[in-house]
Amino acid sequence: MAQSSFVMFDEEYREISAVVDKLLRETNAKCVYLVDKDGQLISSTGDTHNIDATSLASLTAGNIAATGGLAKLIGEKEFSILFHEGEKDNLHISVVGQRVILVVIFDKRSSLGLVRLRVKKASEELGKSIQKLLARMDEGSDKESLLKEITDDDIERLFH
């Protein structure tokens, strides 16, 4: 396999969640999501109960992947920020540390300028946590123990 698993540990999860919560407050946004580039939801906060988070994560990753493809076509590395303007709600999507995607959903109680400003600051903090996480994943000890403990019976039992 070309890549090993992406692993989220409690400590980094708390750090990341704190940054995402702060971003929600500071931008006065409706909700904020953090998504892995492969489409897995990492963290979410705010008024999220009306939104299917799994679908949002997968479509956001698809969106970033498609725009990334467009960027390469015209000789850009990537488009790190996408903005979708709706009648009421707007989507601000940005790539953090080339690995994860930050999604901010906001309405007229906030503004694009404010969101851009706060996202930039939050991205720096998130980038550090992600780097720490990647370094810890390279060590790999915790992940190994879980995966090694999986038995053939565990796998078989999923289907009964």
Partner 1 sequence: MSFINYSSREINCKIVYYGPGLCGKTTNLQHIYRKTRPEAKGKMITLATETERTLFFDFLPLSLGDIKGFKTRFHLYTVPGQIFYDASRKLILKGVDGIVYVADSQVERMDANMESFDNMRINLDEQGYNLAEVPYVVQYNKRDLPNVVPVSELKKVLNVDGVPDFEAVAAEGAGVFETLKAVVKLVLIELKKSA
Report which secondary-structure segment, H or E, holds 43: strand 41-46
- Cβ neighbors of 30 (< 8 A, separation 6 or more) are 46, 47, 89, 105, 106, 107
Closer by beta carbon to partner 1, 77 or else 159:
159
Closer by beta carbon to partner 1, 68 or else 97:
68
Structure tokens at 3: 């890549």
List the one residue from 76, 107, 124, 142 that touches partner 1 (CB under 8 A): 142
Closer by beta carbon to partner 1, 124 or else 144:
144
- Cβ neighbors of 105 (< 8 A, separation 6 or more) are 29, 30, 31, 32, 33, 46, 51, 89, 90, 91, 92
Pairing of strands 81-85, 90-96: antiparallel
Closer by beta carbon to partner 1, 68 or else 127:
68
In the stretch 20-59, what mask flags binding to partner 1 with x, by CB under 8 A?
Answer: ----------------xxxxx-x---------x-xx--xx
Q: Which residues bind partner 1 (CB under 8 A)?
A: 1-10, 13-14, 36-40, 42, 52, 54-55, 58-59, 62, 65-66, 68-69, 142-150, 152, 154-155, 157-159
